[in-house]
Each structure stands twice: as C-alpha cells, then as structure tokens.
Structure 1
Amino acid sequence: MLVYLAKLLVNKFFIFNIFLSLTFRIIFVLLSSFFIALYIGKPLIKYLKKIQISQIVRNDGPKTHFSKRGTPTMGGLIVFFSIIFSILLFGVLDNIYTWFVLFILITHGIIGFIDDYSKISKRNSNGLNAYWKYFWQSLTSLLVIFTIYNFEKNTQATQLVIPFLKETTPQLGILYIFIAYFVIVGTSNAVNLTDGLDGLAIMPTVFISAAFALIAWLTSNVNFANNLNIPFLPNAIELIIICTAIVGSGLGFLWFNSYPAQIFMGDIGSLSLGGTLGTIAVLLRQELLLIIMGGVFVIETISVILQVFSFKIRKKRIFLMTPIHHHYELKGLPEPFITTRFWIVSLILVFIGLLILKIRWYD
C-alpha cells in the first residue's frame, strides 16, 4: 500500500523514496508487525477471558498442565492479523508470491479457527473432525500448488534443490505436486503438534522465517543465485518482507506466550504459520532444507507416528506420551527447561541449513 503511494508521490516529494527502499521496508515491516502484535495482544487476552475462550487441557496429559485451564486460546489471532496488516502495508501487492502465501495463511487460519471453536464449544480437545480438517487443508494447498505449477511451468517450478549437491537439481515433473503437498500440509500439522508448551512452536518458526528471509534475498539476486546454483526467482524478493513480518509478529506473540503463558496460540496460529512456512519453502525450491531447519517439527511429528505404529503393532508405547515434549515433561523436566533446549536445537539446525548453502557454494 505504502509502496504504491510512494510511487505516485516520489516525483513531487523526494522523501517518499524511502518507502521504495527494500532495507527500509524490511526494518519497518518487522517493527510494525511486532508493535501491532503488542498493541492487540493485551485487549485480545482481556476479551477472550471475558467471553471464556479458554484452553481445553487433556485429562490424560501432564498434571502440570492442569494449572493452565482457564488460560485464553486463539492467540494465533495476534500473529494472524499483525502479519496480514504489515504485509498489506509494506508489501508489493502485484507480486504473485505474496498472494500465494496470503492465501495459505488466511485459509489455514480459518481452518484453525473452526478447529479451535469446535474444541471450545464441545468442551473437549478433539476439535474439528480429522477428515474435514485434512480435506480443507488438502484442497486449499492443492489449489495453490496447481496454480504455482501452471504459473511457472516454463521456468524452474519443478526443480528440486538437494542439500550438499550443487550440480544435482532434478526436475520433478508431476512428482512436484506430491512433494509440495507433503511439505505444505505436513508442515502445517507438524507445527500444530509442536505447539504444546509455552513458546515452544513460535521461536522455531521465527528462526526458520529469519533464515528464509536471507535465502529469499539470495534467491532474488541473480549473482548470488548463480554462485550458489539455486534457482533465480525475481518474485522471491517479496518473500523477504513476508518472512520478516512473521519474525516481528512471532516475537510480539512471544511477549504474551512465554512461560507462564498469558495466552495460547491455538490451531488458528499453528496451522496457518506451518502452512505458510511450507508454502515459502515450496516457492523458494527449498523443501528439503525446510526439513533440516525445521528438525524440531520433524522430530515431534515422527515421535507421534512411531508411538501410534508401536502401539498398534506391538501394543507397547515407545514414549511415555507424545508429542515428545510431553515425554520429557513426564520424565520430570520443567517446562521452561524443555522449551529452551528445543529452541537451542532449532537454532543450531537453522545454522546448519544455512551452512549447507555455503558448502554447496564451494562444492
């Protein structure tokens, strides 16, 4: 919005040139999303308490979570609106990548909202029927994937960047659709599973978004893209703004979600943020790098899968409880201890992911 205004007025007022600067937009989108989150956070918490929109705590979960009953949920609204507003304010809205990401963010946010509302109205932790949840996630994700595929079919849409292998970038063809679907829907649900402790899911999301902002900058620069042998994607420049907005809003949300949390993210936040990260990875052709940098989300998901298979086949549990962060809780580790350790692991994995790009550079 401000970019269009600046283009109209820059010839008359030189000062509007600043709104066309990428550096300016990066800094201000981060600050605006952060302060918008702070601004709406406190009154939202107060309102949700008033109408009794509170977290449904599992009866079979760690007993330490019983004290969380009554804490407002749907805090993802803070992240949801601060990201959207800051992108509309500082983003270039004729960039198709912006709308791909916003579509997933909004649709998955709506799915998450319905899921949260179902839990609250039913007064249990089951929420939206799993069939319908995955159906709508799949439908919205496939709409975006097919659009991306058709929009960029003559460029490098189906190219897969393989970590460590500089010269190996196979064209996936129709297989691209399946991989992209797995990444978007899988990441959405992986973040949802991880969101079980105060601040646990939001910081890995912030770390990965910051890394993707850097990768988007490299990808949108023809010289860096050629040196790294990654696809040159001019439209990726606006993903920098989107990723920076996620960082700012995530930090603003953490202000209220850090232990002991004043508000929980809920599915409206975790599903939309996870789907957004997956979409950004698909647009940047960095699906495999997301698996590495998002290792915490991967581990949480795998722990659930292993637990289910083990119980069905062997009638025995591998972990005391899944996702795995609950296993450590039942082992007696304090919640802030677990969360902080997961943050550290996530940050290290993000650095490893960025290092892989450097290694490919010198391959």
Structure 2
Amino acid sequence: MIYHFLVPLSAQLGAFNVFRYITFRSIYALLTALVLTIVLGPMLIRWLQKIKCGQYIREDGPQHQCKAGTPTMGGLIIGMAVMCSTLLWADLTNIYVWLTMFVFTGFGVVGFVDDYIKVVKKRNKGLSPAAKLGGQLLVAGIAVSLLIMEPAYSTTLSVPFFKNINPDLGWFYLPFAIFVLVGSSNGVNLTDGLDGLAIGPMIVGAGCFALFIYVAGHSEMAGYLKVTHVPGVGEVTVFCGALVGAGLGFLWYNAYPAQIFMGDVGSLSLGGVLGFISVLAKQELLLTIVGGVFVFETLSVILQVSYFKFSGGKRIFRMAPLHHHFELKGIPESKIIIRFWILSLLMALMALSTLKLR
C-alpha cells in the first residue's frame, strides 16, 4: 500500500523514489514484521493461555512434560505479521506476490484446522494423515498450476553447480513442484520438536532465498550469474524480508525455554512457502541444501520407519526425528538447537556459493 501511495508522488518529490527499490522495501518489510511480532506476541500468548490452547506432549519420547500446556498455534502471529508487512510494502499488482501469499495462507489454514482439532477440541491426533496431505496437495496444486500458466515462467530445471544443464520437464514439472512444496512443508513440521529448532533454520532459509529470488528477478544479475531469469519475481524479496522479520520476532518468544510454540499453523505454512519460493527462484534442487536440516530430519523418519518394518522391529536411531535421537543420547536440548542452527547457516553459505561455482 505504501508503494502504491508514495511511488506516484516521486514525480513531485524525488525523495520518494527510494520506495521503488525492492531492497529498501524488503528491509522495512523485515523491520515491520519484526516489530509487529514482538509487540503483539505477549497479547497472543495471554489469549492462548486464556482459552487453554496448550501443547500436548507425548509420553513415549524424551521427557518434556514440563512443557505441557505451553501455548501453541503461535504461527498465527507469524502469519499476521508477514501478511500485514507484505501488504504494506510490496507491489500488489505483482502476480508472484499474490501466489506466494496464497501458498502461505493455504498451508496455514490446513495447519490451523489440524491445531484446532488437537488443542481446542482436545483430540490429540488432529486431522487424519490423508486429510492433512489432501489439503496440502490441493493448495500446492492450485498454486503451481497458476504459476505454470504465467507466460514469463519456465518449466526448466536448474541443476546446482552445472550452468549448462537445464532440462525442460514440461507438464511433469507440475507434480515435481507440488512434491517440493508438500515435502518442504512436512519437513519443517517434523523439525518443529524443540524450542526454536525449526524457526532458526527457517530464518536462514528465507534470508538465503531472498537473495536467490532477487537475482532471478534482476535481468543483469541473472545473466551475469547464469541463473534463470523470471521477470517480476524479484518483488517476492519483500515477502522474504517480512518472513525473516516475523521469524526473528517469533524466536524472541520461542527461544529456549519457549513461551510459545508455532504449531502446525506455523510449521506447515512456513515449510510450504519456503518450497514455493525455491520454485519461483528456479532453485528447486538447491532447497535440499538450504533446507538441509529439514531434509535430514525427514530422512531420519523415513529410514527409521522403513527399517523398523523390514527388520521386524529394529531401529537405526534411538528415536526419530533425528533431534530426539540426540536428546536420548544425553545431549542438552539447547546444545542440539544451537548446533542445528550452525549446520543450517553453513549449508546456506554452501548454497550461496553455487552462484559462482558453475
């Protein structure tokens, strides 16, 4: 809204020209979302406590019973801060911004329904796996279908480290991109098991893809760095800035010991939109590096379940996802969290290096 109000005035007052720049608006989108989350966080925590919207803790895992009753569904504050900040600072005529907000909201609705059933209706299992997956597939399918129909968007696939390998997947790109969104969403959801564990790598990932999506939308930079140019997609950098800001604000209250948890409304929306941003930036495969922590957590569950079935009850890890394995080995929770954050930062730097290693 600020963009549409102030940019036309730049003809009369040159100082308003600064609002044309994506980088400037991204910084202020970050700051706006950060302030909104920190200021409104205590009110949301008190409200969730009032309606007894507390986290259910499993009894068959590491002992976290002291966390039972901690307010959950904190993803609501992330969603509100991101959406308000994006609407305030982004160019709202940009189709990619609206598609990104649709994915973020759609996956958030699926997570909200799951949380509502679990913590408000007190049915600890929430949505059935089929219903949850169906909702994710529906949102992802609509978003990717609309994206592919955009004339400026290409169904080619970028391969990290190889600038001349860009296969065109054609209509096969549709199921592939849907898999990226749904896989990323569930990866973040599985990682969200310790205080601040998921939001830390999520902040790093959003910051990393902010750079990739800015480059993809900039014709000269994209040409110089040999990445796929998607005209107009750079505006989504503003959304990424808001995502980083809201994540930092949420971490203020979610850091160990957590005052609030994000719930599925947060983890599903954050994971889904991170996957979609990687698709917009034409860096789908690079998501496995940027989101390496989420990949490791997901693979640990897949390997554990598969090995358990085929070995007749044996386990690879003491417990899955992977962070629980380290907990049961006696490593303090805070140390696990910090180490996962460090790994996330290192993998993001590795991903950024691919811009030159081609």
For normalisation by structure 2, the TM-score amounts to 0.97
1:167 to 164, 169, 173: 164
Cα offset for 1:156? 4.8
| CA distance in structure 1 between the partners assigned to 2:18 and 2:219 by the alignment | 24
Partner of 2:321: 323
Partner of 2:27: 27
Per-residue deviation, 1:14: 4.0
Residue of 215, 219, 223 corresponding to 1:222: 219
SS of residue paired to 1:287: coil
Matches within 5 A, 1:140-289: 140-152=139-151, 155-289=152-286
Q: How far has the Cα of 1:124 moved from its partner?
A: 5.0
Which residue identity lines up with residue 287 of structure 1 in the other structure?
A: E
**What is the one-letter code of the residue matched to 1:138?**
L
Instruction: Spell out, residue by residue over 1:155-198, the C-alpha distance to the aligned partner (whole angstroms, 9 max, x if none).
Output: 45211010111111111112211210110000001000000000
2:296 to 286, 296, 299: 299
Distance (whole Å) between structure 2 residues aligned to residue 227 and residue 7 of structure 1? 29
- State the partner residue of 2:87: 88
Conserved? CA contact 2:147–2:153, under 8 Å: no
1:313 equivalent in structure 2: 310
Gaps spanning 5+ residues in structure 1: where? none
2:356 alignment partner, SS class:
helix
The amino acid of 1:299's aligned partner reads: F
* CA shift for structure 1 position 8: 3.6
Q: CA RMSD in A?
A: 1.2
After superposition, give the CA deviation of every residue in 1:100-156 in whole Å (9 maximum; x if it has no partner).
11001111111111111111145354211111111111011101111111123xx45
Contact 1:56 1:124 in 2 (8 A): no
| Identity, % of aligned positions | 48
Contact kept in structure 2, 1:29 and 1:241, CA below 8 Å: yes
1:39 and 1:249 map into 2 onto residues whose CA distance is 11
Q: Distance in 1 between matches of 2:176 and 2:296?
A: 19
Once residues 27 and 246 of structure 1 are traced to their aligned partners in structure 2, the CA distance between those partners, rounded to angstroms, is 11
2:77 alignment partner in structure 1: 78
Q: Distance in 2 between matches of 1:237 and 1:324?
A: 35
Shift of 1:250: 0.3
Q: By how many angstroms is 1:232 displaced? A: 1.0
Tell me which moved more, 155-164 or 290-299.
155-164
Distance 1:335 1:273, change over 3 A: same
Unaligned runs of 5+ in 2: none
Contact (CA 8 Å) 1:56, 1:123: kept in 2 or not? no
Matched position secondary structure for 1:302: helix
Tell me what 2:134 maps to.
135
Contact 1:307/1:322 (<8 A) preserved:
yes
Number of aligned pairs?
357
Letter in 2 for 1:95: N
**Normalization by structure 1: what TM-score?**
0.96
